[in-house]
Structure 1
Amino acid sequence: MRKPLADRIRPTAIDEVIGQEHILGSNKILNRIIKSGSLSNMIFYGPPGVGKTTVANIIAKESNKKFYKLNATNCSIKDIQDIIDNLNTFEGINGVVLYLDEIQNFNKKQQQSLLEFIEDGRIILISSTTENPYHYIFKAILSRSTIFEFKLLAKDNIKDGINRALDILKKDNNETEIIMQEEALGYICEVANGDLRKALNTLEIAYYSTMPNKENKIVIDLEVAKDSSQSKILNYDISGDSHYDILSAFQKSIRGSDADASIHYLARLIKAGDLISICRRLLVIAAEDIGLAYPNAISIVKSCVDAAMQLGLPEGRIPLAEATILLATSPKSNSVIKAIDKALIEIDTKDVGDIPLHLKDAHYSGAKNLGRGIEYKYPHNYKNNFIKQQYLPDNIKSSKYYEFGENKLEQASFEYWNKIKQ
């Protein structure tokens, strides 16, 4: 049975690992830990296909400890208990390294079952996860572990991995020449999106599905590479970390008035088909980041959002792009969110007191007997529809929540009210 190409090129020494130079490079922290042989509990966090399992296997090989590998998607507390039962046997005399893949799929009780044994050092836990460990892993395990973030591989890293795999394929079939055209290589590196395993799977399909030509050469050209690869898969999970990362980048790009970056992140969200999240975020941005600098923006965005929801994708991309560019190129003001948040904080942290009597409802018989509404001054009876009177409760009558933003519209409003109130 033929082993997958990704397994055949898997490095057996830390210096052979492709990428992750920030933690595995010469004299970097994880490299030093591995070579010292003094292991501690570790959490490998990062997207698939970037070397987490490979590094864990190398650590186990060099640790001189009994190595166990479990996947949290299909193992149970009993599997952990079986490992624990071996701790006092001859096999476990030097200790145990447990590699637990996809630890985020363990519930709190399953994670807690490991605590006693990783605390006293009998088990060295190396766990991996594609999700943010601070969101999914029990805090007691986090506090006893060092977190290492594995990043998407650069295109040059992917290229190195493909070339290594090509060398293996050429040794397997030394009678047939394999030619990887540069365009095809570039395409595979591009659509892999930082995932070496995906790139190698594409290469494997291309190689085994291409017959030698008359000159006994297997030529992998751009057309073959495209046929052999799926559509580019984005790192996106609607319930996971990447979902919030893209939405965050989307809003921050609009807030930063970068229309190109805003459209880029919108395109990622559209490719993921996440129409509801896009619409909700656009409406929030219109109020939070544009606000009173351009109050009509939210009305226009609401129309665009309604159109997108009615059209669905792919046509909905057009009004969504319109709303995105409008918001990115609009003047910005966060005076609205600052005002409401300041008021909410004051309600939570202060004794705000009662509503002034003259502002209380007086539209019922007996209201005057209770002092309701007696001293209220109706602003429309006065010049410029304004009369100074107290509106806030006595306890916070000097509080200021709203501050006019530094933009044309709000400054015009400031000048108007400053003139009237003086």
Structure 2
Amino acid sequence: MISPPTDNSPLAERMRPIRLQDFVGQRHLVGKGQFLSQLIDSGRIPSLLLWGPPGSGKTTLAAILAHAISARFIFFSAVLAGVKEVRQIVDQARDALSEDHRPTILFVDEIHRFNRSQQDAFLPHVENGLLTLIGATTENPSFQINAPLLSRCQVLLLTPLDTDDIIRVLQRALADAEQGLGACNLAIEDSALRILAEAADGDCRRALNQLETVALFAAEQAQHLPVWSDGDSDKTVITTDLVRQSLQQKTLRYDARGEEHYNLISALHKSLRDSDPDGAVYWLGRMLIGGEDPLYLARRMIRFASEDIGNADPQALQVALNCRQAYHMLGSPEGELALYQAAVYLATAPKSNAIYACTHHVRAVIERTGSLPVPLHLRNAPTRLMQDIGYGHGYQYAHDDRDAVVLQEHLPSELSGSVYYQPTNRGYEAVIKDRLDKWKQILKQRAQHHDQQQRKK
């Protein structure tokens, strides 16, 4: 006979490790010789932004880092607190530093929910070292975090835990008699353990919460479950059927063949890219019926509109944005019609990845060449000093030209003549391509004329 867990704290909270060697997953950060391991060895923790999905270990890593250097650790929720609380924390950090020389690590959960002015409240205290800021976000910091704050933090990317890592976490929770479920005398079938791990979809917190639910379920049905003896005690066995019963809606996103969430979203994306509306609506329907968040699907279609359609049909992005807004207003089931409408539009729109390729090309060039200066003729010259040193000198105003195109360089001299955006001949991009070709021909003729005039001189 087993007893359900009695600790009021959720299992995921009880099982939170406090040492780096007990942390599971994120090997690219916590493995031997990796970034976070080196930080702990150095005894100095810089301000960090931990960017990753729910349940990937952001809060746990922040607490581990604070514990490793004996720092004060303050948990701060961007959802529940504001600038007033920041001021109180700053005062406490200043007192702690003067009294016992202890640094303060301020962990801000969901930091992306702070607006720009609220984020600015951290800046001076991060800059002068009074606070070490560790922010956690599920959103892209490039879009959600102020540039000054972003420049003062090292961004670390966390990934969803793989199934084997989650299995290790669940096994540890079942064996731990003090913090976990070890005192409940439970065993679990291998197949049941894998189903639990896969259903968590990379989210360690979700996996532990589901395991705790299964344990409660097992306590209620212990008389109907098999028993396994390890020589010291009899353990009630959590079976595959029991796990499936307890998960119920959570398992709907996986069909009988076991496709995972990422397989399904990949199938949807590729159906859209390959201009197959039938495949697109089928995979969209599979994910909606399986319990996927409709707003997640809307976000993916917004991304698709720029990545795979771009300027071949500029309207596609607006359709995708309107789809998200429509669902947000109507909810299910009425709003799901907008998702289907958007999927069909995106699937049947002309395709181009020219914008996507352009971004990768530009990023690679910038990473290789660094911060090249803006050419003087492109700089504004609001002061006399700026005018005297050449700011804005020689700039040609395009609207003064009959074709509204001018023969002047808009890239740093080191990159003169580079081409990053190469439109296709599909959809509206064909219009853009013709327009660019026409402008290039005009500018080529003007350059030739200019060279002739210079030679005459």
- TM-score, normalising length: structure 1: 0.63
1:220 correspondence with 2:238:
yes
- Counterpart of 1:338 in structure 2 is 429
Alignment of 1:359-370 (within 5 A): none
Mark the CA change 1:339 to 1:275 in structure 2 (over 3 Å): closer, same or farther. Answer: same
The offset of 1:218, in angstroms, is 2.6
Contact 1:193-1:234 at 8 Å conserved across structures? no
Match of 1:98 among 96, 106, 109: 106
Cα distance in 2 for partners of 1:162, 1:148 equals 25
- When residues 152 and 266 of structure 1 are mapped into structure 2, their CA distance, relative to the original with a 3 A threshold, is farther
8 Å CA contact retained: 1:34, 1:59: yes
Cα 1:288/1:52, change in 2 over 3 Å: closer
1:170–1:264: structure 2 CA closer, same or farther, 3 Å change rule? farther
Contact persistence 2:277–2:344 (CA under 8 A): no
Question: Residue in 1 aligned with 2:46?
Answer: 40
Among 67, 84, 93, the alignment partner of 2:73 is 67
Do the aligned residues in 2 keep the contact of 1:269 with 1:275 (CA within 8 Å)? Answer: no
Q: Work out which of the residue numbers 71, 86, 90 in structure 2 matches 1:84.
A: 90
Offset at residue 247 of structure 1 (A): 8.7
Q: Deviations over 1:75-114 (max 9, x none)?
A: 1111110111123324553332111111011111111011
Work out which of the two has the higher radius of gyration on C-alpha atoms and give 1 or 2. Answer: 1
Aligned to 1:213, the other structure's residue is in SS state helix
Deviation of 1:126 (Å): 0.6
- Aligned positions of 1:8-407 closer than 5 A: 8-91=14-97, 93-168=101-176, 177-211=185-219, 212-213=222-223, 217-229=235-247, 231-232=249-250, 254-255=272-273, 267-268=286-287, 271-273=292-294, 277=298, 288=309, 334-342=425-433
Residues 315 and 219 (structure 1), Cα distance of their counterparts in 2 relative to 1, 3 Å cut = same
Q: State how far apart, in whole Å, the 2-side matches of 1:190 and 1:123 are.
A: 39
- In 1, distance between residues paired with 2:84 and 2:285? 45
**Partner Cα separation in structure 2 for residue 339 and residue 325 of structure 1:** 18
Residue-pair matches, total:
326
Match of 1:5 in 2: 11
- Cα deviation 1:203-225 (Å, max 9, x = unaligned): 11111222332756433222321
Gap regions ≥5 residues in structure 1: 236-245, 293-311, 351-393, 399-422
Structure 2 residue matching 1:158: 3-state secondary structure: helix
- Structure 1 stretch displaced more, 113-122 or 318-327: 318-327
CA distance in 2, matches of 1:47, 1:133: 13
Distance change >3 Å, CA 257–CA 24, structure 1 → 2: farther
Q: CA deviation at 1:341?
A: 2.8
Match of 1:231, SS state, is: helix
Q: Which residue of 2 aligns with 1:402?
A: none
- Further displaced range: 264-273 or 157-166: 264-273
Asked whether the 8 Å contact 1:103–1:128 carries over to 2, the reply is yes
Shift of 1:176: 6.0
Deviation at 1:249, TM superposition (A): 8.7
Q: For the structure 1 residues 274 and 35, does the alpha-carbon distance in structure 2 shift closer, same or farther, using more than 3 Å as the test?
A: same
Unaligned runs of 5+ in 2: 1-6, 228-233, 254-263, 314-332, 354-423, 446-457
- Residue 27 of structure 1 deviates from its aligned partner by 0.9
The root-mean-square deviation of aligned C-alpha atoms, in Å, is: 4.8
**What is the CA–CA distance in structure 1 between the aligned matches of 2:64 and 2:78, rounded to whole Å?**
20
TM-score scaled by length of structure 2: 0.58
- How far apart are the structure 2 equivalents of 1:95 and 1:331? 51
Q: Percent identity?
A: 30
| Deviation digits for residues 169-216 of structure 1 (CA, Å, limit 9, x no counterpart) | 599777864121222112111110000111111111111222332756
Shift, 1:344, TM fit: 6.3
Deviations 1:19-72 (A, max 9, x none): 001111111112211221121110000011111111100111112222211011
**Cα 1:122/1:178, change in 2 over 3 Å:** same
Residue 16 of structure 1 and its aligned partner are, at CA, apart by 1.0
